[in-house]
Structure 1
Amino acid sequence: MADIDGSELLDLVQYLDNAEHEAASKTYPVVERHAEALRDQWRKNAKETARKHGKRYPKTITTEQVPAAEAIEWTVGPESMMPQGGMGPGFEHGSRNQPPHWDGARAAVAEEPKFYKSLDEIVRSLL
């Protein structure tokens, strides 16, 4: 007859359950911080490219948490209901009258490696 000790497996399950909660609590402020950094860089880019024609446009770029039970999500971008916020797609992707500015895309490309580095630090802290 063989004895099988499952206590280590139960300890691992308990550890992983605690790690899930710890990861969530550490991740929320990181996602929020990087969403705000993305917003700020997007606004800075927009100020440089929108000129007088879109002087109100940069202030329409906001962050908002997306309510989700199983995820930590933030939306970053122009609010179409604000003055000049509806001009976001034209500024970002261009139109027949102007080339694309790619303000948001450039901000995202700059912020992405910083965001992944922060997430990597969280994961390493849980190991």
Structure 2
Amino acid sequence: MKKIILTISILIISMIIYSLLTSENINSLKGGFQELAFMRNGNNIGPIHRVYAYSINDTLWSEMEKHADLLPHTKYGSTEVYYFLSDEFTNSDVKLRMKGIGQEAQAYCIAYASIDGQSRIKFIKYPFR
């Protein structure tokens, strides 16, 4: 009986470790995502609002959607992500605000993702055109 319990325990622990090592994460995505800027409101008792700006090597739309889905978001809060091509825009050009990105950066934005408190993702290609 002890051998059966031990075998089942080892099997379950092995499955958990395998799942952790093979699950998709931000670093396993194609595209060379690089964070340009990040902003978070200082409210720790109410909704948390996060705004990110990322550069990417190519317009890999499905990878951008996966990337946005893997970013942290909280219940009743929101997360906004702006994507730029890495050869067209640098982190010194990004001016984030809690209401989004500056007017000068909008022309270079190739995608926008918004995640609400219910984990629903809204993904828009070329949002400012």
Give 1 or 2: higher strand fraction: 2
Which has the larger helix fraction?
1
TM-score scaled by length of structure 2: 0.31
Higher relative contact order (CA 8 A, sep 6+): 1
